[in-house]
């Protein structure tokens, strides 16, 4: 009963908004604002025919590979730069500069140079996502307790073991925070790169339908991307709570 | 939240003697320039050996492109267009976000009722709506500003809600008992207490505004620096495209740095109070 009341409290507004949309758009005469029922109908048609599922698979694969590359490069370099004070001081302005480049501006350059296949999209996502991960990993490494650091040194802990068992876990909360920042950037860059030029994926579905004036499909594709983005972010926060349960339990926040 | 990556750097320099500090600054600068030289040399080598795609311009070409860009009026016009659209959207987002956030945050029932909607809005990749908004409003500046607001509103809203939520219950009780007027309470209690969170949201919103404004220009016919990049790429002027990209980065970097400085001076009292 208690959970039911709570669900009611949290869900009444979204339900109300969707209901208003449903009825307000039902008799829409504006061809650019199709009725919600029509959008849902089209969405269902293209999901059950597998068209949208395939598109989502293409987009999400690009996103995942790009993010994995960004995470691998960002964490490795971050551990290295964070541990070496000199390197950090020297490279700091450059890293901040690359972090500040509006990621969407990269899209025409990388896609123009490498064509419209999957690889340039993966590179663009990776390039856009690597900087927040890198910066956060550096911050995390710097935050490792100095005492722990000197104890490891005094006991002559081998370098590799030291990185794997001391620095990496110590920096983990910050690393995960970096991934959390990178994730929405990656989704945006994925969508922009597909809207810019593509022949498959969710962005292509949207682009293609708007170019051929299939307006309900355009709305449907946009909603689909939004819902997928929302699900990814929610799943990530669940993953974060799991991976960092020791950190949240320690009350360090 | 996206606050964690922007934690203030720990006080690391231990205030050595002035001359030593100056000397170290100079040697650090020299090393940074050296690193820049190495980066550029690697780039040049990668282009010459064919490691990068053949169209990648060489370092001298990009340097020339930078000069061409700075001396052309069209570049400055484009930069101004991007800046004004991003700023307009940013200001609207900030006003709207702070207002709604401070309204929602202190009221528990409203906070609970809006949480799913706000979460959804924040996680929604707004850029996906671009084709729809484009159909409705056309490739105009108002479309661009609408898109910027739809993207940048959420961090301000979320941070304002968080800031307002964190109001000390003791203070809230005191305010109620003394019947502090609503407006005074808002101005002197709620706003200062939420400010550290709000400023973070405002700062994140600024970089999102630039990102969204440039992204819209890249994808549509809306004029601005992003459009210039696309046009240069279509005309195969890679040197110019890289130069514009560089300036877009410089622009983003300047805005971030200025806001970080403004934030730390605005919140000096807070840092002292909390040690």
- For B61-273, CATH number? 1.10.3720.10
Whether B5 and A136 lie within 8 Å, measured CB to CB: yes
Is any Cβ of chain B less than 8 angstroms from the Cβ of A8? no
The pair of three-digit structure tokens given for residue A77, joined into one six-digit string: 């370099």
B129, A188 Cβ separation under 8 angstroms? no
Nearest one of B192, B6, B201, B189 to B96, comparing CA atoms: B201
Is any Cβ of chain B less than 8 angstroms from the Cβ of A234? yes
- The residue ranges of every structural domain in chain B are 61-273
CA B150 to chain centre: 15
The pair of three-digit structure tokens given for residue B148, joined into one six-digit string: 């910027």
Q: What is the reported pLDDT for B3? A: 40
Q: How many CB pairs under 8 A join A and B?
A: 177
pLDDT tens digit sequence for A18-53: 899 888 888 877 888 888 888 999 999 989 998 999
pLDDT tens digit sequence for A140-178: 988 888 888 888 888 888 888 888 888 888 888 899 999
Q: What whole-number distance in Å separates Cα of residue A247 and Cα of residue A211?
A: 49
Residues of B in contact with A59 (CB under 8 A): none
Whether A105 and B234 lie within 8 Å, measured CB to CB: no
Label residues A209-223 b or e (16+ Cβ within 10 Å = b): bbeeebbbbbbbbbb
Top mean pLDDT of A71-75, A115-119, B4-8, B193-197 is at: A71-75
Q: How many CB atoms lie within 10 A of CB B258?
A: 11
Residues of B in contact with A180 (CB under 8 A): 2
Residues of A in contact with B112 (CB under 8 A): 6, 9-10
Of the listed ranges A134-138, B22-26, B193-197, B242-246, the least confidently predicted one is B22-26
Is any Cβ of chain B less than 8 angstroms from the Cβ of A109? yes
Query: pLDDT class for A75, splitting at 50, 70, 90?
Result: very high
Whether A230 and B32 lie within 8 Å, measured CB to CB: no
Least Cα separation, residue B188 to chain A (angstroms): 27
Best residue in A19, A91, A99, A105 for a mutation probing chain B (most B CBs within 10 Å): A105
- Cα–Cα–Cα angle for A102, A106, A111, nearest 5°? 160
Q: How many CB atoms lie within 10 A of CB A235?
A: 11
Whether B116 and A10 lie within 8 Å, measured CB to CB: yes
pLDDT tens digit sequence for B94-125: 999 999 998 888 888 888 888 888 988 888 88
Give the CA distances from residue A63 to residues A37, A186, A221, A232, in Å, rounded to whole numbers and listed in that order: 30, 7, 17, 11
Q: Residue A21: inside a domain, yes or no?
A: no
Least Cα separation, residue A219 to chain B (angstroms): 6
Whether A105 and B39 lie within 8 Å, measured CB to CB: no
**Nearest-10 Cα torsion for B244, B247, B252, B255:** -140
Best residue in A108, A111, A193, A209 for a mutation probing chain B (most B CBs within 10 Å): A108
The pair of three-digit structure tokens given for residue A54, joined into one six-digit string: 């395939």
Which CATH number characterizes residue A163's domain? 1.10.3720.10
A112, B54 Cβ separation under 8 angstroms? no
Q: Is B62 exposed, middle or buried (0-12, 13-18, 19+ CB in 10 A)?
A: buried
Rounded CA Rg of chain B:
23
DSSP B179: T
Query: pLDDT class for A103, splitting at 50, 70, 90?
Result: confident
**Is the per-residue pLDDT at A131 higher than 80?**
yes
Query: pLDDT class for B4, splitting at 50, 70, 90?
Result: very low
B193, B171 Cβ separation under 8 angstroms? yes
Is any Cβ of chain B less than 8 angstroms from the Cβ of A136? yes
Q: What whole-number distance in Å separates Cα of residue B61 and Cα of residue B68?
A: 10
Residues of B in contact with A106 (CB under 8 A): 245
What is the torsional sign of CA A246, A248, A253, B4?
A: positive
Q: What mean pLDDT is predicted for residues B132-154?
A: 92
Is any Cβ of chain B less than 8 angstroms from the Cβ of A248? no
Q: Residue A25: inside a domain, yes or no?
A: no
Range of the domain at A130: 34-249
Least Cα separation, residue A184 to chain B (angstroms): 7
Residues of B in contact with A91 (CB under 8 A): 35
Query: pLDDT class for B17, splitting at 50, 70, 90?
Result: low
Q: What whole-number distance in Å separates Cα of residue B195 and Cα of residue B220?
A: 36
Count: domains in chain A: 1
Whether B214 and A230 lie within 8 Å, measured CB to CB: no
Query: pLDDT class for B22, splitting at 50, 70, 90?
Result: low
B161, B105 Cβ separation under 8 angstroms? yes
Is any Cβ of chain B less than 8 angstroms from the Cβ of A238? no
Best residue in B43, B131, B233, B258 for a mutation probing chain A (most A CBs within 10 Å): B131
Q: Compare all CA atoms of chain A with the CA of B256 and give the residue at the minimum distance.
A: A100
Least Cα separation, residue B104 to chain A (angstroms): 13
The pair of three-digit structure tokens given for residue A173, joined into one six-digit string: 């909360």
Give the CA distances from residue A234 to residues A184, A227, A231, B2, B90, in Å, rounded to whole numbers and listed in that order: 11, 11, 5, 14, 26
Q: What is the reported pLDDT for A128? A: 92
Q: What is the reported pLDDT for B270? A: 67
Least Cα separation, residue A160 to chain B (angstroms): 26
**Is the per-residue pLDDT at B58 higher than 90?**
no
Write down the mean pLDDT value for chain B.
83
B167, B193 Cβ separation under 8 angstroms? yes
B191: left (phi over 0), alpha (psi -120 to 50) or beta: alpha
Residues of A in contact with B53 (CB under 8 A): 113-114
Least Cα separation, residue B184 to chain A (angstroms): 31
Whether A109 and B135 lie within 8 Å, measured CB to CB: no
* Residue in A12, A86, A97 nearest the CB of B253: A97
- Cα–Cα–Cα angle for A236, A108, B230, nearest 5°? 135
Least Cα separation, residue A220 to chain B (angstroms): 10
Query: pLDDT class for A251, splitting at 50, 70, 90?
Result: low
Write down the mean pLDDT value for chain A.
87
3-state DSSP helix/strand/coil % of chain A, to nearest 5: 85, 0, 15
Q: Residue A209: inside a domain, yes or no?
A: yes
Give the CA distances from residue B36 to residues A89, A95, B30, B72, in Å, rounded to whole numbers and listed in that order: 13, 12, 10, 26
pLDDT tens digit sequence for A189-248: 998 899 888 888 898 999 889 888 888 999 999 989 988 988 998 899 888 888 877 777
* Residue in A104, A174, A207 nearest the CB of B211: A104
Give the ranges where chain B is alpha helix by DSSP (H): 18-48, 59-71, 73-104, 108-123, 130-137, 141-165, 169-177, 182-185, 191-219, 225-234, 238-266, 268-273
Residues of A in contact with B234 (CB under 8 A): 112
Whether A102 and B55 lie within 8 Å, measured CB to CB: no
């Amino acid at each position: 009963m208690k959970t039911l009341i709570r669900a009611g409290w949290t869900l009444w507004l979204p339900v109300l908004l969707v209901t208003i949309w449903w009825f307000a758009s039902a008799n829409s005469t504006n061809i650019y604002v199709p009725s919600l029922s029509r959008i849902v109908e089209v969405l269902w048609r293209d999901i059950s025919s597998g068209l949208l599922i395939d598109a989502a698979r293409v987009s999400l694969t690009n996103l995942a590979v790009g993010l994995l590359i960004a995470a691998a490069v960002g964490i490795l370099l971050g551990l290295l730069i964070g541990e070496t004070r000199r390197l950090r001081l020297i490279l700091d302005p450059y890293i901040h500069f690359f972090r500040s480049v509006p990621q969407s501006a990269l899209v025409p350059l990388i896609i123009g140079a490498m064509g419209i296949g999957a690889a340039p999209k993966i590179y663009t996502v990776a390039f856009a996502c690597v900087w927040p991960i890198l910066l956060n990993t550096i911050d995390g490494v710097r935050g490792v307790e100095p005492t722990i650091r000197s104890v490891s040194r005094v006991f002559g802990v081998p370098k590799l073991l030291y990185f794997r068992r001391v620095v990496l876990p110590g920096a983990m909360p910050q690393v995960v925070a970096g991934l959390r920042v990178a994730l929405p950037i990656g989704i945006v860059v994925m969508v922009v790169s597909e809207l810019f030029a593509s022949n498959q994926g969710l962005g292509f579905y949207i682009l293609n339908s708007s170019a051929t004036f299939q307006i309900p499909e355009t709305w449907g594709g946009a909603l689909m991307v939004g819902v997928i983005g929302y699900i990814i972010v929610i799943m990530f926060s669940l993953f974060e709570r799991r991976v960092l349960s020791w950190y949240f339990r320690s009350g360090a926040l | 939240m996206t606050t964690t990556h922007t934690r203030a750097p720990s006080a690391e320099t231990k205030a050595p003697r002035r001359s030593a500090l100056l000397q170290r600054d100079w040697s650090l600068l020299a090393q940074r320039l050296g690193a820049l030289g190495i980066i550029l040399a690697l780039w040049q080598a990668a282009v010459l050996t064919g490691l990068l795609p053949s169209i990648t311009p060489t370092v001298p070409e990009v340097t020339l492109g930078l000069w061409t860009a700075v001396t052309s009026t069209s570049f400055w016009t484009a930069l101004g267009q991007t800046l004004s659209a991003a700023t307009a959207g940013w200001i609207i987002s900030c006003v709207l976000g702070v207002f709604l956030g401070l309204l929602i945050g202190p009221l528990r029932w409203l906070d609970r009722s809006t949480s799913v909607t706000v979460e959804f809005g924040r996680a929604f990749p707004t850029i996906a709506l671009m084709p729809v908004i484009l159909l409705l409003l056309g490739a105009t500046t108002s479309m661009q500003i609408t898109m910027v607001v739809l993207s940048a509103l959420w961090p301000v809203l979320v941070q304002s809600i968080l800031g307002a939520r964190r109001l000390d219950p003791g203070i809230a009780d005191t305010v109620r008992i003394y019947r502090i007027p609503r407006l005074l309470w808002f101005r002197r209690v709620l706003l200062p207490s939420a400010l550290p969170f709000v400023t973070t949201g405002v700062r994140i919103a600024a970089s999102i505004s630039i990102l969204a404004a440039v992204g819209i220009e890249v994808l549509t016919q809306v004029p601005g620096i992003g459009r210039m990049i696309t046009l240069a790429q279509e005309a195969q002027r890679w040197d110019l495209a890289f130069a514009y990209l560089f300036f877009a980065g410089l622009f983003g970097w300047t805005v971030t740095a200025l806001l970080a400085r403004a934030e730390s001076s605005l919140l000096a009292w807070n840092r002292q109070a909390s040690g």
